[in-house]
């Protein structure tokens, strides 16, 4: 049902009532992984080791916790233990690869991942690790060879086609090849929603937005509780400036996931575009901000809402932060944020700073959608 917090509560109750219930500890480990809570992951892994000391899984999970906290020595100990108790399993070798990859020992990482694949030709984690090793070294052609080689050994693996499509899409910009790989991945496993999401993304990137919308509409029929499809449709509608359709699908996404930060932020933006209730938009943007405090887009949305409400100093502060977050996260400058900040400076009685921001808009994009309005504002500031 998409209620991770409630699920975690039930699993904790189950583990309290039955401390030997292995399934509950595995579920709690999965929750900790999804939340990035490495301390909780270590605790769950310890319980799994206690209940199943002859299984590699608990040692591998505790190694994940330690690798993420850069505690390499205990991680390596657990990895060796995982390999010792299950030498024919890929699990320990995958974690050895993960450790060596973080340590940037690429050759050793590749050997470990390959050892995992030699033991389990269907190991998605091992192939993903091998591909990441090559990508980090800029050896993109090797990733494609590795993926195709493994697909030949396990031709019914949806995950392998998904990995191949991702490389073709993100690293080779081979739209046709990526689309074919994602389509095959989805055919092999209709529950692979990640492949369906990326299938639509590559269709949109190649200029076929109608196909992408059709992909997501069909995916919703098969997965009616997957909010991501509604959010992606909303982004496509926004690109067309079909604000009503965008608003409808974002609202549907929020019915499924009431505090989804992306849907909240995007719906707030659409409401600003259509003259919707600014106070409702403010509430949505604040929800997004709590979940995504490092998002420059969310800071921009909230800053622009404060501008609309006449809180110009608050708007300036958030829009300045939006620019800093883009720089911090190595994201290219957005002329829209400079435009909003320029207008906020002007209302805050800082014409010199306003002029700098508006001039930056035209410098970044001379054909900016509101270029005429920017030029008008600049003329007024100079007069």
pTM: 0.87
As a whole number of angstroms, the distance between CA 134 and CA 145 comes to 11
- What are 358's two structure tokens? 């508006």
Q: Please state, in angstroms and rounded to a whole number, the distance separating the CA atoms of residues 58 and 48.
A: 5
In this prediction, residue 383 carries a pLDDT of: 62
Segment-wise mean pLDDT, segments of 10 residues, the chain, 383 residues: 86 95 96 94 96 97 97 98 97 98 98 98 97 97 97 97 97 96 97 96 96 97 94 96 96 94 97 94 97 96 96 97 95 95 96 95 93 92 75
122/118 Cα distance (integer angstroms) = 10
Structure tokens at 185: 């991945």
Whether residue 164 contacts residue 191, with contact meaning beta carbons closer than 8 Å, is answered with no
Rounded distance between C-alpha atoms, residue 62 and residue 79, angstroms: 9
pLDDT score, position 71: 97
Centre a 10 Å sphere on the Cβ of residue 162 and count the other Cβ atoms it contains.
25
DSSP 80: H
The domain made up of 293-383 has a fold known as 1.25.40
What is the C-alpha radius of gyration for the chain, rounded to an integer number of angstroms? 24
C-alpha dist (Å) from residue 24 to 18, 45, 247, 273: 9, 11, 39, 46
pLDDT of residue 226: 93
Annotated domain spans of the chain: 293-383
* Half-sphere exposure of residue 174: CA atoms within 13 angstroms, side-chain side: 15
Q: What is the pLDDT of residue 353?
A: 96
């Amino acid at each position: 049902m998409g209620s991770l917090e409630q699920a975690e509560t039930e699993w904790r109750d189950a583990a309290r009532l039955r401390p030997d219930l292995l399934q509950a500890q595995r579920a709690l480990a999965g929750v900790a992984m999804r939340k990035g809570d490495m301390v909780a992951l270590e605790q769950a892994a310890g319980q799994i080791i206690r209940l199943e000391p002859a299984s590699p899984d608990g040692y591998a999970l505790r190694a994940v916790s330690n690798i993420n906290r850069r505690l390499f020595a205990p991680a390596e100990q657990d990895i060796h233990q995982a390999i010792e108790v299950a030498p024919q399993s890929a699990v320990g070798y995958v974690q050895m690869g993960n450790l060596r990859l973080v340590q940037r020992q690429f050759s050793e990482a590749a050997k470990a991942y390959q050892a995992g694949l030699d033991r389990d030709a269907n190991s998605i984690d091992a192939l993903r690790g091998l591909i990441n090793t090559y990508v980090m070294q800029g050896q993109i052609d090797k990733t494609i060879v590795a993926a195709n080689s493994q697909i030949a050994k396990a031709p019914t693996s949806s995950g392998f086609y998904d990995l191949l499509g991702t490389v073709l899409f993100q690293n080779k910009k081979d739209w046709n090849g990526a689309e074919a790989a994602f389509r095959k991945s989805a055919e092999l496993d209709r529950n692979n929603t990640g492949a369906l999401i990326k299938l639509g993304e590559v269709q949109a990137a190649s200029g076929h937005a109608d196909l992408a919308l059709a992909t997501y509409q069909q995916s919703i029929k098969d997965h009616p509780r997957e909010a991501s499809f509604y959010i992606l449709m909303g982004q496509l509608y926004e690109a067309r400036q079909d604000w009503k359709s965008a608003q409808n699908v974002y609202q549907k996404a929020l019915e499924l996931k009431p505090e989804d930060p992306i849907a909240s932020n995007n719906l707030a933006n659409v409401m600003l575009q259509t003259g919707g209730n600014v106070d409702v938009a403010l509430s949505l943007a604040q929800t997004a901000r709590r979940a995504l405090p490092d998002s420059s887009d969310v800071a921009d949305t909230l800053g622009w809402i404060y501008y609309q409400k006449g809180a110009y100093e608050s708007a300036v502060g958030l829009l300045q932060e939006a620019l800093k977050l883009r720089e911090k996260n190595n994201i290219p400058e957005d002329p829209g944020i400079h435009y909003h900040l320029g207008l906020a400076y002007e209302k805050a009685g800082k014409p010199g700073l306003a002029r700098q921001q508006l001039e930056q808009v035209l410098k970044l994009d001379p054909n900016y959608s509101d270029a005429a309005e920017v030029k008008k504002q600049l003329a007024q500031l100079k007069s």
